[in-house]
Amino acid sequence: MTTRSSDYAGVQSNSQFLPYNWEDEDRFYTLHFALRDLFSSNVMPAVLPRLIKGACVVDIGCGNGPWITDMATQYSECEYVGVEPSVDMLPEAMPLPNVRFEVADIMDKLPFESNSVDVVHIRAQGLQFKKEEWVKALREVYRVLKPGGMVQLLELHNAVSLGNLDYDIATKLGPILEESGFQLAQLKKKKVHFASDGRLGETFVAVTLRTFQAAQDFLAPLMGLDIDDYRHRVEMVCAQCVKHNAHLTWYAYVGKKP
């Protein structure tokens, strides 16, 4: 959807188009369950054969652990490791015996031996990886995966480029996977409309608002805005997206290590 600054005239940040409680949403858990509903699963069909007893499943950029804890309950015979570059993002406690967490940065080195991991999951890292870092990250994933291992990528297509970030990266991950040594095993894309998809659309509005709020210290200076103006602008844009029933497109890729 293309918008102009004139589209925002008269739209207040407390617009009727915004979810009532979006500021109270936990963005990691809200995004997790929204994407699970959108794709009808936590994993793509191509990944399922790797989820056998004793399989090592790694979630890179795990946040406070919604995907990995959901998976650890659903496929309880696998072993799970969540990876985050900062300990501040990780949950304080994890009651599940088949889940542990590691503090590591994929841009340095993952804390796993070569050929030791069955599945790697990476989701919504568009604000974390610069354009030139995707191949480096995926080659490190390739190193730790066993032959026949799978990497699953979920990324939002936003058709925006800002600084060294490429919000159009979702459409490019297939060739990047192949450049990193993977065979493309599966690609699925799903579209969600902010207004006409009911509760799911409302949930993605809340996710969008919270995601941009979390990135405000980085994005506001790039946009030449102070924090209050940035927040108001984001809320106005999201309200207009709902009003005009704009949509998001999420891409899910599965790459296989030969």
Separation of alpha carbons 105 and 247, rounded Å: 32
Three-state secondary structure string covering 129-150 = CCCCHHHHHHHHHHHHEEEEEE
Which CATH number fits the domain that encloses residue 107? Answer: 3.40.50.150
- For the segment 179-205, the average pLDDT, to the nearest whole number, is 95
- Name the residue with tokens 């979702």: 170
- Name the residue with tokens 């924090």: 227
Enclosing domain of residue 89: 5-256
- For the segment 202-219, the average pLDDT, to the nearest whole number, is 86
Instruction: Give the number of other Cβ atoms within 10 Å of residue 8's Cβ.
Output: 15
What's the gap between Cα 92 and its chain centre? 21
- Phi and psi at residue 8, to the nearest 5°: -90, -5
Q: Write down the pLDDT at residue 166.
A: 65
pLDDT digits (tens, 9 = 90+) for 107-142: 999 999 999 999 999 999 876 787 789 999 999 999
Q: What DSSP designation does 210 have?
A: H
Quick check: 160 pLDDT over 60?
Answer: no
Q: Write down the pLDDT at residue 88.
A: 85
Quick check: 162 pLDDT over 60?
Answer: no
Q: Write down the pLDDT at residue 163.
A: 55
What does pTM read for this prediction?
Answer: 0.86
Gyration radius of the chain over CA positions: 19
How many distinct structural domains can be found in the chain? 1
Q: Write down the pLDDT at residue 140.
A: 97
Quick check: 148 pLDDT over 70?
Answer: yes
- Name the residue with tokens 């927040």: 231
Instruction: Give the number of other Cβ atoms within 10 Å of residue 19's Cβ.
Output: 18
Quick check: 70 pLDDT over 80?
Answer: yes
Average pLDDT along the chain: 86
Is pLDDT larger for residue 154 or for residue 20? 154
- Identity of the amino acid at 216: Q
213-221 long-range contacts, CB within 8 A, separation 24+: 213/23, 214/27, 215/127, 218/127, 219/162
- Phi and psi at residue 149, to the nearest 5°: -70, 160
Q: Write down the pLDDT at residue 2.
A: 34
Separation of alpha carbons 231 and 214, rounded Å: 10
Separation of alpha carbons 133 and 116, rounded Å: 23
Report the interhelical angle of 27-39 vs 66-74 (nearest 10°). 50
Separation of alpha carbons 230 and 236, rounded Å: 10
Q: Which tokens belong to 45?
A: 């069909």
Run of H or E residues at 237? helix 227-243
